[in-house]
Chain A
Amino acid sequence: MKLNERSLAFYATCDSPADNTGFLYKKGERHTAYHRRWFVLKGNMLFYFEDRDSREPVGVIILEGCTVELCEAAEDFAFAIRFAGSRSRTYILAADSQPAMEAWVKALSRASFDYMRLVVRELEQQLERMRAGARPKAEPLVPPRRERSLPSGGLRENGCAVWSQEAPSLPNGSLPRTSHEGGPRPPPLPPRRKPSLGSSPAPLLVPETPFTPGTTTFSRLHDWYGQEILALRREWLQSRGQL
Chain B
Amino acid sequence: MRYNEKELQALSRQPAEKAAEIGMRVPKKGSVVKRRLVKLVVNFLFYFRTDEAEPIGALLLEHCRITKEEPSGFSISFIEEPDRKYYFECSSEEQCQEWIDALRRASYEFMRRSLIFYRNEIRKMTGKDPLEQYGISEEARFQLNAPQPTGIECRKEEGLLGRAEISPNSFWPGGGGGRT
A interface, CB within 8 angstroms of B: 1-11, 14-23, 42-45, 56-62, 64-66, 83-85, 87-89, 95-97, 100, 103, 107, 110-114, 116-117, 119-120, 123-124, 126-127, 130, 136, 138, 141, 146-147, 168-171, 176-179, 186-187, 189-190, 216-219, 222
- Distance (whole angstroms) from the CB of B95 to the closest CB of chain A: 15
Which A residues are in CB contact (< 8 Å) with B9? 1
Of B55, B108, B136, B152, the residue contacting A100 (CB under 8 A) is B152
- What is the size category of the interface that chain B forms with chain A? 35 or more
Query: Contact: A4 with B105, CB < 8 Å?
Result: no
Residues of B within 8 A of A65 (CB): 7, 10-11, 14
A23 in contact with B152 (CB, 8 Å): yes
- Are the C-beta atoms of A4 and B60 separated by less than 8 Å? yes
Contact A44 B43 (CB under 8 A): yes
Q: Are A11's CB and B60's CB within 8 A?
A: yes
| A-B residue pair count with CB separations less than 8 angstroms | 229
- Check B127–A85 contact: CB distance below 8 A: no
**Which DSSP category, helix, strand, loop or mixed, fits chain B's interface?**
mixed
| A125 and B136 alpha carbons, distance in the complex (Å) | 18
Taking the closest CB of chain A, its distance from the CB of B117, in whole angstroms, is 7
**Option from A95, A147, A179 in Cβ contact (under 8 Å) with B152:** A95
Q: Is the CB of B6 within 8 A of A60?
A: no
A7 touches B62 (CB 8 A): yes
